[in-house]
Amino acid sequence: MDRLTGTQVSNRAPDRSWPRSLTRVPYWVFQDESVYRAEQDRIFHGPHWSYLCLEAELAEPGDFCATFIGEQPVLVTRDVDGEVYAFENRCAHRGALIAMADHGKARDFTCVYHAWTYNLQGDLTAVAFAEGVGGKGGMPPNFCLSDHGPRKLRIAVVHGLVFGTLSNDLPDIEEYLGEEILDRIDRVLGGRKPVVLGRFAQRLPNNWKLYAENVRDSYHASILHLFFTTFGINRLSQRGAIIVDESGGHHVSYSAIDRSATESTEYRDQNIRSDSEYRLADPSLLEGFSEVGDDVTLQILSVYPGFVLQQIQNSVAVRQILPRGTDDTLLNWTYLGFESDTEEQRLVRMKQSNLVGPAGYVSMEDGGIGGFVQRGIAGASDEYATLQMGGDTAESSESRVTEASVRGFWLAYRESMGFVPDDDAPLPEIGEHERTRVVRA
């Protein structure tokens, strides 16, 4: 671990002030190129744990995954000692990718450009023509292999999820996540061996933070996603809650079958469709089983900055949010089953894969909505989103009609970006007055 020196996190925070109130989010944060660049340093290379891949994808020695921390390509491997390692996917010679396949098996890695070779732990083991040819050429005599190599990542494995960081300046993963988040990861993955059922990628025409917000936004779920309400799968009046961790950055939203629930008129009153004549021609889609023996049918969990673990009915998946530009995001989906699944359970998971992903009945809208915001805020860099649903704090809540976990994301974000809260930034009320004045003028 001698090269685990971490990235020097730039102290440069873009010269911006951030409203002290968590109810206001400036739109420039989704548009500004300098903010985007600073995020790579301060967030993805900074003191945060990023999800890399599943341990199940590294079942045997020699298995590797090519993944990313932010924009940075990273290789995760399992060496012959059985341990998981991760290092930059960048040759120490001239910067080419060390491995190009997303997943594969290797004894070692040889860069295609000049055949510099690395072992599964990322150590440089050979340089082609190091001694030259016929006594001519070659590397200088003082060239030392161990002085050269890609930076190595610190690794942590939590219930089969592999996280990594390029920073030394952060606590271990358990402390980073906190007990409540760990418990909820344990609830879905604890004591079970996940099996990858499929991998899909979705390119979103929006800033990565719009998707991070969307994941934490329990307010929109049954309003935008009408499949839920049309077929009576999920309603805000179901028993559920929001957990926001102390940093604000991680969250859990869950709901459970409320066996004492009575018919409610709340949706009809809001003119949102809830009681409809629509019935599935093949209702087997929704005939699931208790995922882990409790009544929870939905649990969405996020880890700051870019990880999501979902259980929607019996559709279990992890999502990796990767920034690709101010208005370009790569969202990787890995659908999971478990080794203990029966054949019937596996069939349920296949059917319920229709609920999620780029074509999912309850997720396809999320592919589009970020782009609607990105397009909507063009020309409005100095305006603000308003997040007042459920108050102005970022605390856990028994109501899911709240934007508490979205506010939590921004609390963690402004902290990690080093934006200084500014009392002079307009409060929601002031904004309303201004708007009224403009209309009347």
Partner 1 sequence: MDNQVAIARAQARYARCIDDGPLEDWPSFFTEDCHYRVTTADNYARGLPAGLIWADTRGMLTDRVSALKEANIYEPHVYRHMLGQPAILSESGGDVESETPFFVLRVTGGGPTDLFASGRYVDHYRVEGDQALLRERVVVCDSKEIDTLLALPL
Report the C-alpha gap between 331 and 368 in whole angstroms. 13
From the CB of 203, what's the least distance to partner 1, in Å? 5
Find the part of the chain contacting partner 1 (CB under 8 A) among 21-29, 39-47, 227-235, 257-265. 227-235
Closest contact distance (angstroms) between CB of 105 and partner 1 is 12
Q: Among the candidate windows 128-136, 257-265, 282-290, 386-394, which touches partner 1 by CB under 8 A?
A: 282-290
Token pair of 202 as six digits:
């979705």
Helix (H) or strand (E) holding 435: helix 428-440
Burial category of 256 from C-beta neighbours within 10 Å (exposed 0-12, middle 13-18, buried 19 and up): middle
Give the nearer residue to partner 1 in terms of CB position, either 125 or 230. 230
358 binds partner 1 (CB under 8 A): yes
Site for partner 1 contains 357 (CB under 8 A): yes
Cβ 204 to partner 1 shortest distance, Å: 7
Asked if 106 is part of the footprint of partner 1 (rule: CB under 8 A), the reply reads: no
Sign of CA dihedral 380, 383, 388, 394: positive
- Residues 6+ away with beta carbon under 8 Å from 333: 199, 200, 201, 202, 317, 318, 319, 356, 357, 358
Rank residues 101 and 430 by Cβ distance to partner 1 and give the closer one: 101
350 binds partner 1 (CB under 8 A): yes
**Strand pairing category for 17-19 and 420-422:** parallel
Region of residue 271 (left: phi > 0; alpha: psi -120 to 50; beta: else): left
Contact positions with partner 1 (CB under 8 A) in 58-97: none
Among 16, 351, 400, 414, binds partner 1 (CB under 8 A): 351
Q: Residues binding partner 1: what is the number (CB under 8 A)?
A: 42
**Interface residues for partner 1 in 322-341 (CB under 8 A)?**
330, 335
The one among 52, 204, 242, 404 contacting partner 1 by CB under 8 A: 204
Task: Give the range of 21-29, 61-69, 89-97, 342-350 binding partner 1 by CB under 8 A.
Answer: 342-350
**Residue 312 C-beta: closest distance to partner 1, Å:** 14
Nearest-approach distance from CB 274 to partner 1, in angstroms: 12
CB 118 within 8 A of CB 133: no
When asked if residue 203 is in the footprint of partner 1 (CB under 8 A), the reply is yes
Give, for 254, the enclosing helix (H) or strand (E).
Answer: strand 251-256
Q: Can you list the pairs that 5-10 forms with residues at least 24 positions away whose Cβ atoms lie under 8 Å?
A: 5/151, 5/168, 6/166, 6/167, 6/168, 6/169, 7/41, 7/45, 7/46, 7/151, 7/166, 7/167, 9/41, 9/42, 9/45, 9/46, 9/47, 9/167, 9/169, 10/38, 10/41, 10/42
Q: Does 287 bind partner 1 (CB under 8 A)?
A: no
What is d(CA 70, CA 323) in angstroms, rounded to the nearest whole number? 6
User: What b/e string do you get for 390-418 counting C-beta neighbours within 10 Å, with b at 16 or more?
Assistant: bbebbbbbeebebbbbbbbbbbbbbebbb
- Please say which residue, 209 or 351, places its beta carbon nearer to partner 1: 351
**198 belongs to the binding site for partner 1 (CB under 8 A):** yes
Residue 267 in contact with partner 1, rule: CB under 8 A: no
Return d(Cα 202, Cα 95) in angstroms, integer.
27
One of 96, 201, 373, 425 touching partner 1 (CB under 8 A): 201
Scanning 12-20, 116-124, 289-297, 349-357 for contacts with partner 1 by CB under 8 A, the matching segment is 349-357
**CA–CA separation, 431 and 55 (whole Å):** 49
- Residue 196 within binding range of partner 1, rule CB under 8 A: yes
145 near partner 1, judged by CB under 8 A: no
Residues in the chain, how many? Answer: 441
Which residues 228-247 are close enough to bind partner 1 by CB under 8 A?
Answer: 230-231
* 100 contacts partner 1 (rule: CB under 8 A): no
Interface residues toward partner 1, by CB under 8 A:
102, 196-205, 224, 226-227, 230-231, 276, 278, 280-282, 284-285, 330, 335, 346-347, 349-351, 353-354, 357-359, 361, 364-365, 367-368, 371-372
